Structure 1
Amino acid sequence: MRNILLCCGTIVLLNVQSSFTGDVHEKELQLKDVGVLILSQNNSYHSGRAERLYRDIKIQLTHLNKDQWPEVVIAHEKWDSIGYWTLFPILKQLAWTYSKHAWLFICEEETKVNLNGLLKVLKKYDYTQHYFLGKPLYDDYPVIQHHFESDKKFAYPDFSAGFLISIPLLKELASNWPLPKFKADFTIDPKHEVAMYLKMIGVMLTPVPELCTEKKNSQCVTTNSVPFPVCGPMIPDEDLYVAVKTCEKYHSTRLNVVIDTWARESRNIEFISETEDKSIPTISLGVPNTERGHCGKTFAILKRFHNSRLKTPWLLIADDDTIINLKLLRKLLSCYDPTEPVSLGERYGYSVAMGNGYNYITGGGGMVFSRETVDRLMTSGICSCPKNDSPDDMILGMCLKRLSLPITHSLFFHQARLKDYPEDFLNPKLHISFHKHWDSDPYDVYRAITDIEDKIDLVKTQKRPIRRDEL
């Protein structure tokens, strides 16, 4: 059975502070000294994958007596903080939970880890010192998703490969949080923001070649090389209604790109504008165009979907400068149950690092909703747009929080351009969406995310599809 933390927040804080005063004594490192945190999500598919990893880790430990097992935690099961996925609001709880360990290993639900191999690697490092270990990623230039603060020399960890923090460092992080100068309003990319916070207290990432995503050599003790999940055949085209938000000034530019590329993959797509143009065709839902926000238009789409007599299971809302592989999206949706409240895309957070605020699916990468989610939103009576130009994705995030409906993050959706991400982060995975036409060729981006035959045969990534009841 998993150990459960039975303390309230105040008691945890006092205990953590008192634990900081103790000395860390040198000892022969053992598996019980390496705690594990699995970054999981409250969704049946993702929680199933986290449980699978949990079981695999426990199988690796069966040769040990149970009193020698490390603490292995599935994050969403232990902490209900809305921003636990950023790590910041649970730093003190982490420091308490793993206070008797030497290292904390943090990984994603699809990370594969060889614990004995990891132990051998960690014996190279002095766990009594402040160490931050991981597979490094670097930005080629300052990018918007990292607040234009990175440079080519700044390394941040690839969470997919897993990363490690020595417990003395974890305790210092917890005792110092939050630093007044640290920007904690928007959380966009926690792997980068965690590294920035550590930089502020004088600790930089130490690259560890044995922490891998692709198994490039026999030295790798972690991998995360599944290019794309395979849960069964892609859902039928008619099970996904696609709404593209546009406006008259982009009918002949951005919208033409959509029509020439990914719109061809759907017979169930509509272009929502403030102006009807039968030659395209676009339709109007009675909402005037706004220069920003587009909340009125998005909620009109939600209402249209809710009132549809066809009862299509899934809804995608995309911008007219989003580039999407719809076939991959339909493949991905076979992993999810449309009778559950699913809100899927790239997750951002507002003020969640402080333990409050709300999560939201960022609109530029595409927002996917199950009918169950849309129906609950539309019948709740508490979700509406303050103004037509309010930020639609953030307003939806607030609504979903009020209704206690989960946000599900997918690493296959991207708010920024393809060129804004490190190549080592993107490979070997496939990708559903990128955003923006600025300073890039959207046709090239579309070809890059749809020309997958030489990269992977989706059918052969698993010996057979994984049924939902096996997760």
Structure 2
Amino acid sequence: MLQKIMKEREVKFKDVVFIVLSQSNSYHVKRADLFQKHFTEQLQDVPQSDHPLLFFLHKQWPEGGAYTLFPLMEGFAANFSNKAWIFVCEEETRINLAGLITVLSSFDYHEQIFLGKPLRDYSSSIIHHYAFYDNPSRFLYPDPAGGFALTLPLIKSIVARLKSSKLEIDFVIDPKHELAKFIRNEDEGTPLTAVREFCTSVTSDKCVTSLPLRFPQCGTPLPVDDLFVAVKTCGKFHKDRVSVVKKTWGQETTNIEYYSDKEDPDIPTIDLGIENTESGHCEKTLAIIRRAANNSDEPWLLIADDDTIISLKQLRKLLACYDAKEVVVMGERYGYGVAKGYGYNYITGGGGMVFSKPAVKLLAEECKCPAIDSPDDMILGMCLDRLQIDLVHSQYIHQARIEDYSPDYLSYRDHVSFHKHYLIDPIQVYKMLDKVDLGLKSPHDEL
């Protein structure tokens, strides 16, 4: 009987479809090429007819919302109906293919099953729309760095729900959480099954996936003088927020200017002649971009809020990986409407928005604000979408506070920035960033 069950569950390489969450920027294309090399080297002794299908988003599905997976589900169900599993991972994920096949074979792919390296929240968070606020740790969602897997019956059930009911996700903030929440379907659907063999840091010889790259290593960091830093502020925050910047990351460069609605020679600030607004700040941001396009020669521009907490040292290491001659707009990607197959992506401003010089010039020439208080990040996203410019999503730049993320998600990477001073000590957060290792321990082994 046991042998019969194992035979029915047996998975071969060709039964799995691999989806890599790749990006179109030249640096990320190179990283995807390295993934493919490592992947195909493991198949040298496997007949070509038995090879698994391998797809990269930047090649096969360059559409703006493909990274959410929702727009792809119907195609998965139609085109891969003879497969057993869809396995999703990141460019930097490394997979022991034979080991993965063994793990997948221990589950019945005829059932609706969702496997992954689990993440959980320990407090309700704005980035997850305060979901499960009464007990956020009870909800598990997958970490794409360790990979996650869905059976075809589960894919088909997702497609059926998408056809029968309206997808309610307008703003995409954290696609891994939003996908898992949709699949969980208010405790009526399929929960994530935690798989110890899906790893980021290699915790045992049983790990079949891992993320060996803690932070990009691209040689000599960008010179200090190649990065111009613009800080957005206003008069009421000069004393508390700007003072923190000047005590922390503002000391990492002399190539920095503070833009406000009031001149303050003690900082000093620059008054752009634009009145302060309670939200949006579109005209202020575009004025900074136009000023940088006309008055600065630096290859890179960072626009940060006065309550952004950032390590310029880490940012300069990161920027060494990118070509300043290309049009690059980088930060943490959010999306509006993209899970539904329309809309646009944008770089959310709090973690910092990074622009190459060609991008600065393009935005200065092509983008306009509908109103002075229009949301700057979303308007820039709409403009870039119109120009068919892809954003670069960085895993190291964060819109929210350290407390708003799963400790397990933060523990295996170094980071560039976080955002907000609310209920935290921003100077202490900066010191943690400056030390690189946040000192967080992964709770994954406790599961």
TM bucket by the smaller chain? over 0.9
Distance (whole Å) between structure 1 residues aligned to residue 420 and residue 263 of structure 2: 24
Q: Aligned residue for 1:199?
A: 184
- Residue 109 of structure 1 pairs with residue 109 of structure 2: no
8 Å contact kept, 2:42–2:97 = yes
Q: Aligned residue for 1:423?
A: 407
CA-to-partner distance for each residue in 1:20-67, whole Å, 9 max, x for gaps?
Answer: xxxxx9463211111101110110011111121112111111111111
Quote how far apart the aligned CAs of 1:225 are.
3.4
8 Å contact kept, 2:9–2:108 = no
- Residue 209 of structure 1 pairs with residue 182 of structure 2: no
Aligned counterparts, 1:379-418, within 5 A = 379-380=365-366, 383-418=367-402
Distance (whole Å) between structure 2 residues aligned to residue 178 and residue 249 of structure 1: 49
Q: Aligned residue for 2:419?
A: 435
Match of 1:91 among 50, 67, 73: 73
Q: Which runs of 5+ in 2 are unaligned?
A: 1-6, 440-447
Give aligned pairs, total: 428
8 Å contact kept, 1:212–1:223 = yes
CA-to-partner distance for each residue in 1:198-231, whole Å, 9 max, x for gaps?
Answer: 0116100000000000001111000013210001
Quote how far apart the aligned CAs of 1:181 are.
5.8
Match of 1:173 among 158, 167, 173: 158
Distance (whole Å) between structure 2 residues aligned to residue 30 and residue 159 of structure 1: 22
Distance (whole Å) between structure 2 residues aligned to residue 454 and residue 418 of structure 1: 9
Q: Aligned residue for 2:269?
A: 282
Amino acid at match of 1:116: A
Q: Aligned residue for 2:444?
A: none
What is the TM-score when the length of structure 1 is the normalising length? Answer: 0.89
Match of 2:238 among 245, 251, 263: 251
Amino acid at match of 2:408: D
Amino acid at match of 2:426: P
Q: Look up the SS of the partner of 1:405 in the other structure.
A: coil
Quote how far apart the aligned CAs of 1:179 are.
5.9
RMSD of aligned Cα (Å) = 1.5
Q: Aligned residue for 1:320?
A: 306
8 Å contact kept, 1:225–1:428 = no
Q: Look up the SS of the partner of 2:145 in the other structure.
A: helix
Q: Aligned residue for 2:443?
A: none
8 Å contact kept, 1:225–1:429 = no
Amino acid at match of 1:209: R
Quote how far apart the aligned CAs of 1:454 are.
9.8
- Residue 154 of structure 1 pairs with residue 136 of structure 2: no
Which region of structure 1 is more displaced relative to structure 2, 223-232 or 173-182? 173-182
Which region of structure 1 is more displaced relative to structure 2, 82-91 or 176-185? 176-185
Match of 1:335 among 321, 324, 327: 321
Aligned counterparts, 1:219-368, within 5 A = 219-308=206-295, 310-368=296-354
8 Å contact kept, 2:9–2:105 = no
Quote how far apart the aligned CAs of 1:375 are.
1.0
Provide the identity percentage: 50
Quote how far apart the aligned CAs of 1:176 are.
2.1
Distance (whole Å) between structure 2 residues aligned to residue 311 and residue 67 of structure 1: 54
Q: Aligned residue for 2:104?
A: 122
Q: How has the CA–CA distance of structure 1 residues 179 and 257 changed in structure 2, closer, same or farther, with 3 Å as cutoff?
A: farther
Amino acid at match of 1:420: D
8 Å contact kept, 1:348–1:360 = yes
Amino acid at match of 2:65: G
Which region of structure 1 is more displaced relative to structure 2, 56-65 or 212-221? 56-65
Which region of structure 1 is more displaced relative to structure 2, 370-379 or 256-265? 370-379
Distance (whole Å) between structure 1 residues aligned to residue 377 and residue 58 of structure 2: 23
Q: Which runs of 5+ in 1 are unaligned?
A: 1-24, 456-471
8 Å contact kept, 1:112–1:223 = yes
Amino acid at match of 1:375: K
Distance (whole Å) between structure 1 residues aligned to residue 346 and residue 171 of structure 2: 11
Q: Aligned residue for 2:29?
A: 47
8 Å contact kept, 1:136–1:156 = yes
- Residue 141 of structure 1 pairs with residue 127 of structure 2: no
